[in-house]
Structure 1
Amino acid sequence: MTMVPGRKVNWYLRAGGDLAHDVIDSAPQAIVAAMSEYWAAGHSHGDFNIDNILLDPISREISFVDFGAEPLIPCCDSATRRRSASYDLGYILYDVAMRVKGNAIGPGARARRLILAERMLRAFLETIARQENALHVIDEIHLVARLHMETIDVSLSPRGLWRRLLRSLAARRIDTTLGRLKAQFGPAMQSSSSADELTRQQ
């Protein structure tokens, strides 16, 4: 088995302190940049979650492990990159939102996971020039997250009822996160486009 350098991102987030804040501030852009060529080729990770991203702050290396089954994305154009990223970013948002009430991590780490995921989404959206494309990606991410939530057992058993509650809480987290991004990238990008158009007319 090949050893991969670094620790899981989740380890840094659990540690807290300055180390966790440094990861939240710098890792989202680096992770998106590292995945960019893979997405551009029409691939997605398939199991893109915080436990499958490793960071080595000394060598400044990022590694991705445990690739899952990627969805079929037939075309290879600018839309392919956005669609591939939407699958992965939708899944990571779903994953952190569903685990927000879990007992395996403390409340501080849970909040940091959500913040990191949102900043990763924002980092990718900042690479998209056109407003309508950015908003379309947000809708795609939302759809992917919702599709994953629909696979959760919400039967009338005690476990199913607990998962129903978790799913409801996760849906609110996802809606709130994507609502903030829509508010940011809708008017902000529209204003930028209007300014560019005015400059061209002068």
Structure 2
Amino acid sequence: MTTLQVEYLAHVSSNTDPFEVSVLLDKINRQHIGEYPWTEFKDENVQADFVIAQGTDCLLLKYYVREPHSKATYLQTNDPVYKDSCVEFFLGIDSPWEYYNFEFNHAGTGLLCFGTAKERQFLSPALVEQIKYARSFKKDQSTDLVTWELCLVIPFCIFTFHKITQLSGSTCYANFYKCGDDLPIVHYAAWNHISSDTPNFHLPEFFGRLDFLH
């Protein structure tokens, strides 16, 4: 199991401007989403990394993506954004077996569910839309590669099935992903390795560990 220590940024809250948060997260070491459990679903030109931290009342997450094909066709909350250029984050608060799954395309459109590997429910769009984000997108004309970044400020109220006032000092379980079901080259990448015959991110037994620092 991969373990990651999550820094505490005491001067950041859910009211902090997400563009300011984005700059702060650039100073933290990036983690690579480089595990391809299913080799037939791999794009050598895709690179994805993330940074995670905690504020006083929020979770802070930033993705850094470079890829040859990128699209964001789904623009309504809880649309199937996993068909677009998509980054995902699954988080189990008390254990890995019940978890929140966050999914976003590069436009910032979010999909959020809570439940188990077999049964999950959507969270209300009104709740999901309390997540603030900052994004950037550019295309390198010399290589045709697209680079995009997405910074998320996730207030603790999003975790509606748990009463969270702070995460510092706690341990959670998570995995981070990059995918694109409808891209020209379908790919599925993860932070913590997954062992499965067929593509499936909903395998909490393969979540890594997040230790939230004080």
TM-score, normalised by the number of residues in structure 2: 0.26
Q: Which structure is higher in helix share?
A: 1
Larger Rg: 1
Q: Which structure is higher in strand share?
A: 2
